[in-house]
Structure 1
Amino acid sequence: MDFVSEHAGRPPARLTRRDVARALLAVPSGQALVAVPDLRRAMFAAGNPLSAAFWDSVKATLAAIENGVATVGDVQRWLEATGTEPILITRDYFVWPEEGERGPVATELYELLVAHLEERVESGEIDPDRLVAGDSAAREVYERIQDRWLATPLPDGRVPGAAVSDELDQELFASWDEEEAFALSELRRVLADLPEPSLPSAELAAAAGRLRALLTEPGYPGNVLRACAGLDGEPLPEDDTELWLTVAAGVASPVSDLQDEDEHQFWDLEGELSQEDAALAALCTIHHADWLATVAALARRGPGVLASPERIARLVAESDDIDVDMDDPEDLETTESLFTSVTPLWRELGIVDDHTVLTALGWWGLPKALERAWSPE
């Protein structure tokens, strides 16, 4: 009883089913099973006996864990059946972060929701005995209460669901910026030891001319390059170097999505992605480390080196510039498949030729494009 009270931060008389369940899950299941009878008697003596249905569920769940037949989902569902454990994924597809990954806002609001659910249990609106018995109507009430709370403004004006999502977005952006800043510093470290390639003016002018025509054409690859560079509806830069670097940087770090009149098409889970959507999805999936390893290797080797997707996958696997373990053939295949969407766009930019061999323009421009893509300014 002392352990459970300390774990929950409440005296025995105020312990909830959730408090007891979480404390029992915090110790080995065998130890918890042995402790249940004494704990149940102590709770009864404290005037907080809970219910027979709850204690039966405790023994059944702990026994299933001990025997290795309980899944994570089973345990989560049992916790939720205590009546005051927030649902991990709600009917409206709100997802709470894992306990160790919650920021200050999510932690605060999670505890506020627990308190709200405790009030609903006290009022009788939530019936834990029916929940633990698997009553679908009781479960629907339980889910509806949480969806309503997440969408209702608090006295301070915050909408809980939106506030948690905003915090997660900020954490994601901060993590992304940190990763990008580190990748940029590593790229600059690599480039500092290499000679500065001369600008192939004729090749750049020819590539920019082709690019200006391509960006005005409908369909792939013009629409993908426009989206990557964020040039949909925007006038093209007049300077050839600016135009080329803008588009090349966009391939490494796409600025926007495709402009599609049918906005629901992407959410057709039964359909196949178009060539354009598949290409953009691949570009957005490539990690900073893979770009760094690829461009660093090509910059060191210079014009004439093969830059096919297969070769790029091998360059990433063998790179000394990143800490990556790609001994698994599936990892190589994944990297190769992602760069299969890159090399056709590089060909349009003149970074590689028709045989996917790095050109003088690619040797000069790829490092500059990647540096631009990762620079905050």
Structure 2
Amino acid sequence: MDFVCAHAGRPAPALTRRDVARALLAVPSGVALVALPDLRREMLAAGNPLSRAFWESAKAVLSSIEAGQATVGDVQRWLESTGTEPILMTPSYFVWPEEDERGPVATEMYDRLVAHLEERVAAGEIDPDALVTGDREARRAYEELQEQWLGTPLPDGRVPGFAVSDEQDEELFNAWDEEEAFALSELQRIMAELPKQPETPVEELEAAAARLRVLLALPGYPSNVLRACAGFEDRPLPDDDTELWLSVAAGIAGPISDLSEGGDVLEEFVDLEGELSQEDTVLANLCAIQHADWLAGVAALARMGPGVLASPERMARLIAESEDIDVDEHAEDDLDTTESLFASVVTLWGYLGVVDEDDVLTPLGWWGLPKALERAWSPPAE
């Protein structure tokens, strides 16, 4: 009892089913099973007996854990059936962060919801015994109650669900910015250490830019993807050849926008059994490549110079063998995944003249790829 009270931060008469369940799960299942009868008697003596259904469910779950039969989902569902544990993922797909990953806002909102659920249990609006015995109507009402709370503004105007999501988004963006800044600094260090700096291949750049202007004026793939990558869907092409080429090359490493919506885009999006279009597949592949993989691949090409093979398979190998990034031993399926992602990249590089028809790095690619990455990872000008 002392452990449960300390774990919950409450005296025995105020303990909830959730408090007891979380304490039981905080120790080895065998220890919890042995302690269960004594704990039940002590709770009864404290005037807080809980219910027979709860104690039977606790014994069943702990026995299942001890036997190695319980899944994480089984345990989570049991914890939620206490009536005051927030649902990990609601029917509308709101997901609470793991406890050790919650920021201040998520922690506050989680605690507020627990308190709200405790009030509803005390008011008789939640029946924990019905939840623990698997009553579907009780579960549905429990889910709806939480959905409603997550979408209802607090007195200070914040909507709990949005507040938690906004905090998670901010944390994600901050982590992304930090990763990007580190990758940029490493790229600049590597380029500064090259024994010979790439020179601008003026004639190749002018010819590539001319081809690119014609290509970007055409409908369909790959023009629509390249326009989206560079953010040219809603703005005119720059007059300067270098600016044009680097904008598109940088966009491949960091796409600026999605494809322009038109027709039945929404209908296609919600068709879960339908296949992605070629354009959507290519953009998805570009967005899935990590900063470290871009850094490792482009750094290797920069060191080796024009004439080196830059096929998707070769890029995957260069990344796996790179000493510029921390990587575990690449399994064959990891190499296959990287090769698949870079298949889209190398194809687009071909339209820019980064590689030739044999996927060999050109002088233009040697000069332009590091500059394109630097542009993609640099903060936007104020």
When normalised by structure 1's length, the TM-score is 0.99
> What does 1:55-94 align with in structure 2 at a 5 Å threshold?
55-94=55-94
Residue number among 331, 344, 359 corresponding to 1:356 in the alignment: 359
> Matched residue of 2:88: which SS?
coil
Task: Give distance in 2, aligned partners of 1:165 and 1:223.
Answer: 31
> Matched residue of 1:342: which SS?
helix
How far the C-alpha of 1:260 sits from its partner, in A, is: 2.3
1:213 aligns with 2:214: yes
Residue number among 329, 338, 345 corresponding to 1:342 in the alignment: 345
Per-residue CA deviations over 1:336-376 (Å, capped at 9, x if unaligned) read 00000001100000000011000000000000000110011
Amino acid in the other structure paired with 2:265? E
Aligned residue in 1 for 2:273? 270
Verify the 8 A CA contact 1:326 1:332 in the aligned structure 2.
no
Give unmatched runs, 5+ long, in structure 1. none
> What's the Cα RMSD here?
0.7
Task: Give distance in 1, aligned partners of 2:175 and 2:272.
Answer: 29
1:252 aligns with 2:231: no
Task: Give distance in 2, aligned partners of 1:161 and 1:285.
Answer: 27
Task: Give distance in 1, aligned partners of 2:329 and 2:285.
Answer: 19
Per-residue CA deviations over 1:182-207 (Å, capped at 9, x if unaligned) read 11111111001112211111100010
> What does 1:96-175 align with in structure 2 at a 5 Å threshold?
96-175=96-175
How far the C-alpha of 1:169 sits from its partner, in A, is: 0.2
Aligned residue in 1 for 2:228? 227
Task: Give distance in 1, aligned partners of 2:123 and 2:255.
Answer: 52
Task: Give distance in 2, aligned partners of 1:227 and 1:7.
Answer: 53
How far the C-alpha of 1:90 sits from its partner, in A, is: 0.4
Task: Give distance in 2, aligned partners of 1:327 and 1:60.
Answer: 42
Aligned residue in 1 for 2:313? 310
Amino acid in the other structure paired with 1:348? Y
How far the C-alpha of 1:327 sits from its partner, in A, is: 3.1
Aligned residue in 1 for 2:192? 192
How far the C-alpha of 1:213 sits from its partner, in A, is: 1.0
Verify the 8 A CA contact 1:224 1:280 in the aligned structure 2.
yes
Task: Give distance in 2, aligned partners of 1:324 and 1:237.
Answer: 39
Verify the 8 A CA contact 1:215 1:225 in the aligned structure 2.
yes
How far the C-alpha of 1:286 sits from its partner, in A, is: 0.4
How far the C-alpha of 1:216 sits from its partner, in A, is: 1.2
> Matched residue of 2:344: which SS?
coil
Task: Give distance in 1, aligned partners of 2:89 and 2:362.
Answer: 50
Task: Give distance in 2, aligned partners of 1:206 and 1:327.
Answer: 39
When normalised by structure 2's length, the TM-score is 0.98
Verify the 8 A CA contact 1:207 1:349 in the aligned structure 2.
yes
Amino acid in the other structure paired with 2:207? A
Amino acid in the other structure paired with 1:227? A
Amino acid in the other structure paired with 1:339? F
Give unmatched runs, 5+ long, in structure 2. none
> Matched residue of 1:41: which SS?
helix
Task: Give distance in 2, aligned partners of 1:186 and 1:268.
Answer: 42
Verify the 8 A CA contact 1:305 1:357 in the aligned structure 2.
yes
Amino acid in the other structure paired with 1:283? L
Task: Give distance in 1, aligned partners of 2:214 and 2:122.
Answer: 69
1:50 aligns with 2:53: no
Verify the 8 A CA contact 1:303 1:359 in the aligned structure 2.
yes
Task: Give distance in 2, aligned partners of 1:29 and 1:268.
Answer: 44
How far the C-alpha of 1:326 sits from its partner, in A, is: 3.8
Amino acid in the other structure paired with 1:101? E
Aligned residue in 1 for 2:180? 180
* Identity over aligned pairs, percent: 73
Task: Give distance in 1, aligned partners of 2:288 and 2:212.
Answer: 25
Per-residue CA deviations over 1:13-33 (Å, capped at 9, x if unaligned) read 000000000000000000000
